[in-house]
């Protein structure tokens, strides 16, 4: 099997067996070497965003001292949830490898179908009530950003 995915699976077992979070692991590879490995830490950290992919993105960006991971690849034991999928895009990574998929995860009660339904506007129930308020005032920082000469682009 793939040597990087093997490490991601080891991480999934490690995190699960130490009760740090769900059975998910991930690694980030740069130039053929693992630069970050990790697992789900939601339970350990009480952070609902501490999914394996987010955990390794944070480790890799800290290590490299930059937010752009376009020269890195991510290996995740499971198909990333919508949050992680977006984070992988925000990090500008060019390759994602995963093994188990969202339907496999749903069978063990990690079901993110509801989030896909909300995004696709096909959800029949709303968990989060969404309110649009103060639209003009909220756009004021955009005006200043657009005119800011020394802005850091990402």
Helix (H) or strand (E) holding 39: strand 33-39
Q: Which residue among 4, 9, 51, 100 contacts Zn ion (CB under 5 A)?
A: 51
Cα first-last separation, the chain? 35
Catalytic annotation present for 53: yes
Decide: 9 and 101 in contact? Cβ < 8 Å. Answer: no
Decide: 76 and 97 in contact? Cβ < 8 Å. Answer: yes
- Does the protein bind Zn ion through residue 91 (CB under 5 A)? no
Q: Which residue among 72, 81, 88, 91 contacts Zn ion (CB under 5 A)?
A: 81
Catalytic residue among 53, 126, 136, 140: 53
**What does the block give as tokens for 59?**
């480790």
- Does the protein bind Zn ion through residue 84 (CB under 5 A)? yes
- Does the protein bind Zn ion through residue 39 (CB under 5 A)? no
Binding site for Zn ion (CB under 5 A): 51, 81, 83-84
């Amino acid at each position: 099997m793939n040597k990087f995915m093997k490490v991601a699976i080891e991480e999934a077992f490690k995190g699960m067996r130490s009760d740090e979070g769900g059975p998910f692991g991930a690694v980030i590879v740069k130039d053929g070497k693992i630069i970050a490995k990790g697992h789900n830490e939601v339970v350990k950290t009480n952070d609902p965003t501490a999914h394996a992919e987010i955990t390794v993105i944070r480790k890799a960006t800290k290590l490299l001292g930059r937010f752009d991971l376009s020269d890195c690849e991510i290996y995740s034991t499971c198909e990333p949830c919508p949050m992680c999928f977006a984070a992988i895009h925000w990090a500008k990574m060019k390759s994602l490898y995963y093994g188990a998929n969202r339907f496999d995860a749903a069978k063990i009660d990690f079901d993110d179908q509801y989030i896909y339904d909300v995004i696709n506007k096909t959800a029949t129930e709303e968990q989060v009530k969404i309110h649009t308020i103060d639209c003009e005032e909220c756009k004021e920082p955009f005006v200043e950003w657009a005119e800011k000469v020394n802005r850091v682009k990402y």
